[in-house]
C-alpha cells in the first residue's frame, strides 16, 4: 500500500517546495533518472497499464495499436466488473492500496487522473483536494518505480491554468528532465473529438512523456471537416427516454421567448439570467455578502432581488438572502469580472426589451432557478427551439446547432443531451459513439450509471491518434540511432 501527497518531500527534501506540502503520509521512493531506457522491440507487442480505467477508453485505443494491457485500476466496483466483461481483465481497486511491486513492468502508462479538483465547474482545490487531487502523485510514484518508456495523461484544459499556472509547472518539474525530475521529455496539447471528425466538442488536455527526446514528435493533425450529430443517432431507438411534461413545458416557454423577441433584436450571445431582470442589488463595487457583513441584511433593504422582488418587504434575514439570485449569494467581497459583465449585460438587455419581456416573465417563474437561465448558441439560426440539440445544465437551458453534441460530462439523467426534433433524450449507446466506445460489448445497465461513466471517459479515437503519433515518433528516432526496433502497425 502506498499513499503519496507531496513530491518535493520525496524527490529532494532540500529544495524549496513549489507549494506548501500537505500534511499526509508519504512514502520514500527512488526518483533517479534511468540511464538507458529499454526501447520497445516491436510496436505490436508493447505492454501498457490503464490507471483510473473507467470504461476502458485508453485500453480500447492502445489495443488497436497492438498493445497488451498488463494492469488496470478502477475504484468503482461496477465499472471493474464491466471492464472485465469487455476486456477479460479485472482491474485492481483503489490505486493507493496497490503495492508498487504488484504492478507489472510496462512500456506505456496511461491515466485520466481525476479532473474534478482542476475543473472550472468545481471548487478547483487541485492538489489540495484530499480525496482526488493528490492522486497525480500516485501516478508519479509508479513512473518513478517502473520507468515506462512513455506515458499519456488526460485531464481538463483548466489543469494548465489552475492556480495561476503553478500546478502545471509543478507537474512539469516532477515529470520532466530537470534536476529533480523523472527524466521525461514532455509535451501537452488541447484536443477535442470534433478535431477528429466526431460530432462532440469536448476539449481535454493530453500530456505525453517519453524517455527519448520528442524531436520528431508532432501532435496528430486536426481536421476542420464539418460534423453532424446525425452520424451518431439511431433511428427511433427503443430505449430512448421521452421528455417529461415539465421538460416540454419549460422548453415551450423558452421557445415562446424566442418567438416574442422582435426580428430586429438578436437573442444575446451571453447567458440569459432571467433572475437579473428587475433586480437592482449592487454588484459593481461591492456584493450583497459585503453589505451583509457591514450592516446585516438592512444594507439591502432598498434594493430588489430576483425578478424585481423587493428585499425590504421580507421579514427574516433568511428570506431576504434567499430573494437574491444564487450567483449573487457567494461569500465574496467583490465579484469576478466575468460575473459582473454578465449581470450588467442581462440588466441592460432587460431595460432595452422590457416591453415584451415583462408579460412573458411570469411564465418562467414556475421552474427551478437553473431552468430560468438560457444559453442560445445558435446565432442567426431559425428561432425554433425544437430544431436543435438541447441540454439542461446548472448554467441553464442550452441550445446548440446540430453539428455537434454538447460536451459529455459526468451527467445526471436530466443533463443528457436532448434531440429536439425527435423530442427525446440521447441513448447511452449514442453517447458511447460520441466517445468512440460504441464497440464495447457492455455498458452499465443503469442509464444513470452509463451516462456518468461516459461523461468521465476518454475518447478512444483521440487517444489512439495521440498514442500512434507518440510511439511512431520515438521509433523513428531509435531507428536513426540504430536501435533494434520493429515495424510500425500499418
Q: Which residues are catalytic?
A: 115
Torsion of CA 380, 385, 391, 393, to 10 degrees: 80
Beta partners for residue 206, in sequence order: 154, 189
Nearest C-alpha neighbor of 147 from the set 7, 53, 11, 39: 39
CB of 75 closer than 8 Å to CB of 115: no
Cα–Cα distance, 335 to 286 (Å, whole number): 8
| Residue 480 CB contacts under 8 Å (≥ 6 apart), including other chains | none
DSSP string, 419-475: EGGGTEEPPHHHHHHHTT-TT-S---SSHHHHHHHHHHPPPHHHHHHHHHHHHHHHH
Cα–Cα distance, 226 to 313 (Å, whole number): 54
What Rg value do the Cα atoms of the chain yield, rounded? 26
CB of 99 closer than 8 Å to CB of 92: no
CB of 434 closer than 8 Å to CB of 193: yes
Cα–Cα distance, 71 to 362 (Å, whole number): 57
Residue for cell digits 432557478?
369
Cα–Cα distance, 459 to 202 (Å, whole number): 9
Cα–Cα distance, 51 to 468 (Å, whole number): 19
What distance, in Å, lies between the first and last C-alpha atoms of the chain?
41
b/e per residue, 348-357, with b = 16+ CB within 10 A? Answer: ebbeebeeeb
Question: Dihedrals φ, ψ of 405, to 5°?
Answer: -85, 160
Residue for cell digits 412573458?
360
CB of 432 closer than 8 Å to CB of 440: yes
Give the angle subtended at the CA of 400 by the CAs of 203 and 398, to the nearest 5°.
90
Give residue 165's region: left, alpha or beta (phi > 0; psi -120 to 50): left
Amino acid at each position: 500500500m502506498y499513499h503519496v501527497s507531496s513530491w518535493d518531500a520525496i524527490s529532494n527534501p532540500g529544495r524549496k517546495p513549489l507549494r506548501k506540502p500537505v500534511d499526509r503520509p508519504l512514502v520514500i521512493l527512488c526518483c533517479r533518472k534511468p540511464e538507458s531506457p529499454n526501447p520497445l522491440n516491436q510496436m505490436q507487442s508493447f505492454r501498457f497499464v490503464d490507471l483510473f480505467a473507467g470504461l476502458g477508453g485508453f485500453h480500447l485505443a492502445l489495443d488497436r495499436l497492438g498493445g497488451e494491457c498488463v494492469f488496470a485500476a478502477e475504484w468503482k466496483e461496477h465499472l471493474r466488473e464491466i471492464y472485465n466483461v469487455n476486456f477479460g481483465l479485472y482491474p485492481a481497486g483503489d490505486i493507493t492500496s496497490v503495492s508498487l511491486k504488484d504492478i507489472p513492468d510496462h512500456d506505456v502508462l496511461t491515466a485520466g487522473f481525476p479532473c474534478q479538483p482542476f475543473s472550472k465547474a468545481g471548487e478547483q482545490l487541485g492538489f489540495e483536494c484530499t480525496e482526488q487531487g493528490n492522486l497525480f502523485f500516485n501516478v508519479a510514484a509508479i513512473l518513478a518505480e517502473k520507468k515506462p518508456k512513455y506515458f499519456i495523461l488526460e485531464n481538463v484544459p483548466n489543469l494548465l491554468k489552475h492556480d495561476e499556472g503553478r500546478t502545471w509547472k509543478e507537474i512539469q518539474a516532477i515529470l520532466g528532465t530537470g534536476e529533480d525530475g523523472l527524466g521525461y521529455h514532455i509535451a501537452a496539447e488541447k484536443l477535442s473529438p470534433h478535431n477528429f471528425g466526431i460530432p462532440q466538442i469536448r476539449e481535454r488536455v493530453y500530456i505525453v512523456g517519453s524517455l527519448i527526446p520528442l524531436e520528431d514528435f508532432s501532435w496528430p493533425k486536426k481536421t476542420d471537416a464539418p460534423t453532424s450529430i446525425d452520424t451518431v443517432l439511431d433511428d427511433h431507438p427503443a430505449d430512448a427516454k421521452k421528455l417529461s411534461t415539465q421538460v416540454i413545458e419549460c422548453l415551450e416557454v423558452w421557445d415562446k421567448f424566442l418567438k416574442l423577441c422582435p426580428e430586429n433584436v438578436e437573442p444575446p450571445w451571453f447567458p440569459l439570467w432571467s433572475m437579473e431582470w428587475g433586480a437592482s442589488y449592487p454588484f459593481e463595487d461591492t456584493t450583497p455578502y459585503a453589505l451583509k457583513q457591514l450592516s446585516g441584511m438592512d444594507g439591502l433593504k432598498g434594493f430588489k432581488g430576483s425578478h424585481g422582488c423587493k428585499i425590504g418587504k421580507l421579514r427574516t434575514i433568511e428570506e431576504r438572502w434567499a430573494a437574491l439570485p444564487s450567483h449573487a449569494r457567494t461569500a465574496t467581497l467583490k465579484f469576478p469580472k466575468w460575473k459582473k459583465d454578465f449581470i450588467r449585460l442581462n440588466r441592460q438587455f432587460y431595460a432595452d426589451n422590457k416591453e415584451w419581456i415583462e408579460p412573458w416573465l411570469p411564465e418562467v417563474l414556475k421552474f427551478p432557478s437553473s431552468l430560468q437561465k438560457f444559453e442560445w448558441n445558435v446565432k442567426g439560426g431559425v428561432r425554433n427551439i425544437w430544431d436543435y440539440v438541447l441540454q439542461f445544465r446548472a448554467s441553464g437551458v442550452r441550445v446548440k446547432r446540430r453539428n455537434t453534441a454538447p460536451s459529455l460530462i459526468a451527467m445526471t439523467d436530466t443533463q443528457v443531451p436532448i434531440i429536439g426534433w425527435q423530442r427525446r433524450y440521447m441513448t447511452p449507446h449514442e453517447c458511447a459513439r460520441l466517445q468512440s466506445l460504441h464497440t464495447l460489448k457492455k455498458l452499465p445497465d443503469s442509464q444513470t450509471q452509463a451516462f456518468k461513466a461516459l461523461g468521465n471517459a476518454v475518447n478512444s479515437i483521440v487517444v489512439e491518434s495521440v498514442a500512434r503519433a507518440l510511439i511512431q515518433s520515438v521509433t523513428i528516432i531509435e531507428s536513426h540511432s540504430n536501435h533494434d526496433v520493429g515495424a510500425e502497425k500499418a
